[in-house]
Structure 1
């Protein structure tokens, strides 16, 4: 039984032998190539053979029929030259992608399976690709992608109808797609490597100002006294600590240490994928203790501070429910992120150290900043929150914290079933 057949390789010859189970692979006496069929005889793998140091190295160059014989042979001299300089070079695989859309669809599928990315980030990438990038760049040949084509086909059409911050985010997704593909050797060059948003638009993008003002705090506290317990406590936790909506709605009781007065946000719940530990002031401890007792009186002893209702009670509330809770209190005039901005601004007004604020918000920091934090700032975080919470008392925080007997809610029957 023949395992290897020597032939002059061509696509026609490959198709002629692909269904012959006695042939495992094809070789060509003219070139250092092997074509190995897969188990179900529908595809095959191209390998470039490199002889060095008395041994043989096999380097995969692509898959047939995606990579045709003609296309591989046209690139073979370059591959051999590369391997002569660096036998371990990653620049061996020959890309079969021709359009920008090929790269974008691959990247969207890859990120959808990335366990390190949050659902929000995955949704953002998917939206940028399917709503903006594919409609404008799907058939654009990769080799023609440059500053001029990006400006004409993508940036200028988008800036006419979207905020500049959104345009920048879309461009960032495109750049990351090509960077990842090039890093893995799936494309030969990265045409977006030198592209910067400032190359197209030199206007400075100012961060959106928070729409929630200090003079609205008294009204918020008064509204919270009339709000059901679960949304009230969730909003108070965000206001007191500057936490994000996603990490707050997923808070777990096992991460709240009343004895040591700390609240730990696990890395899988935070945006930077880094564990975040917050000190709990006496006010926060009192709020959480009252809330836990309230839940236990109603028969709930589950995992989450804000459990979903019905048969999904083993999960936290969804982002849709959390947003609805915020909107019901704000009348859609401000968002959860505005509470985070208010906390940051208030800390600055109270004279709290900038690095303490960055630590409390769990912002990404440089290595130098982290060294500074561990030797100095962490000791001040608790004091900063105590000052901030004392300041909030002047706007009615005490009444919002003390309210523990809300009106009957439509979820109470579901809570009894948990």
Structure 2
């Protein structure tokens, strides 16, 4: 058997020769002095040779361990040379089979509009690929994917975190179908943080409406402010939509107030059916300006949001002008009006844009009825206070 000393002192000759160890292991010494470990084995009727490395980088003990591992493969009927080739190919696949390459292939198979395709890929470029783009997709685990999502959530981008999670999951599903991954380690929805509760605007309760109307009737402030608050109560639009109202948006003959898209949060035109009481309020407003229905103290500027807030506080109500929307929504829901009609009148845009367009046309008559009912409820409460 070989020893380190024998291996060290083995001199090169004019042609290659072998210095044997045991069980097929030997040191092949080249004429240039290089020494290579080799292992001869027989699989079936064929003899093969497996290279085990260069001496002295590979010491005798390690060479023997490598030989013993190869012998075990032979015992199992596995060719060590072929096994090494397959493992090299697998390692190469791990290098080229990255999350980024799988994501690109998945992205290319989708039939999206160009705009949406750019948006999806951009979200991966920003939030995902810097962290795991060069990692083999088959090696990724749930903890690594959570590490991708956590910074997005920490920034308060909860919707983006959900979209990114879904897109990563879709990439894994594609990779599984393509034979490039064994499973989908994407964390479940429950692993994502829940967004903080939305802080609702302070609003009147229905049992405060009689007192509010009574105090509004004797309020000593600007009459324009009084009429603005009355119309806001009756229409429950957003305060900014009311304050910036223009005369050409109103058609009192058919009882409609059409707020143009550029003034709407949803960027869609919004129609407010006007009740008899709302039309009466509009008629009481003297058109002191050509354009603005509720002009402020500065020429060409609308009534300020601060003006409405101050008026409410001076009357003793710790509420916001925006809270009239909460008041109306709560009362109308409690009185059995369909949520879709209420949400449409609040100009809350559904995720389904087609459904939104259908709602605007189909619900108009029901919305007219609802707005008149709401105005009657408010009027009845004013009478009760009297």
TM-score by length of 1: 0.47
Tell me the alpha carbon deviations over residues 164-195 of structure 1, each in whole angstroms, 9 at most, x when there is no partner: xxx4xx44478999xxxxxxxxxxxxxxxx99
1:317 to 303, 306, 327: 303
TM-aligned CA distance change 1:397 to 1:143, over 3 Å: farther
1:395 to 378, 381, 384: 381
- Contact 1:302/1:314 (8 A) holds in 2: no
Partner of 1:57: none
Q: Secondary structure in 1 aligned to 2:214?
A: helix
**Cα offset for 1:288?**
0.8
The worse-fitting range, judged by mean Cα deviation, of 369-378 and 234-243 is: 369-378
Report the count of equivalent residues: 237
Partner of 2:340: 355
2:367 to 373, 378, 381: 381
1:12-411 matched pairs, under 5 angstroms: 143-144=130-131, 147-148=146-147, 151=150, 155=153, 167=156, 170-172=157-159, 199-201=191-193, 205=197, 208=200, 211-227=203-219, 228=221, 229-292=223-286, 296=287, 300-310=288-298, 313-329=299-315, 331=317, 333-365=318-350, 366-367=352-353, 369-370=355-356, 372-373=358-359, 376-396=362-382
Tell me the alpha carbon deviations over residues 89-130 of structure 1, each in whole angstroms, 9 at most, x when there is no partner: 99xx9xxx9xx9xx7xxxxxxxxxxxxxxxxxxxxxxxxxxx
Q: Aligned partners of 1:212 and 1:395: how far apart in 2?
A: 13
Give 5+ residue unaligned stretches, structure 1.
Answer: 1-77, 104-139, 159-166, 178-193, 401-418
TM-score by length of 2: 0.50
TM-aligned CA distance change 1:309 to 1:384, over 3 Å: same
Q: Secondary structure in 1 aligned to 2:285?
A: helix
TM-aligned CA distance change 1:322 to 1:209, over 3 Å: closer
Q: Aligned partners of 2:281 and 2:384: how far apart in 1?
A: 10
- Contact 2:341/2:367 (8 A) holds in 1: yes
**Cα offset for 1:207?**
7.5
TM-aligned CA distance change 1:338 to 1:301, over 3 Å: closer
Tell me the alpha carbon deviations over residues 262-317 of structure 1, each in whole angstroms, 9 at most, x when there is no partner: 1111111111011011111211111111123xxx5xxx23211222323xx21323
TM-aligned CA distance change 1:173 to 1:374, over 3 Å: closer
Q: Secondary structure in 2 aligned to 1:341?
A: helix
Partner of 1:408: none
Task: Please tell me whether Structure 1 or Structure 2 has the larger radius of gyration of its CA atoms.
Answer: 2
The worse-fitting range, judged by mean Cα deviation, of 354-363 and 207-216 is: 207-216
- Please report the RMSD computed on the Cα atoms of aligned residues, expressed in angstroms: 4.3
- Contact 2:149/2:161 (8 A) holds in 1: no
TM-aligned CA distance change 1:375 to 1:211, over 3 Å: closer
TM-aligned CA distance change 1:147 to 1:319, over 3 Å: farther
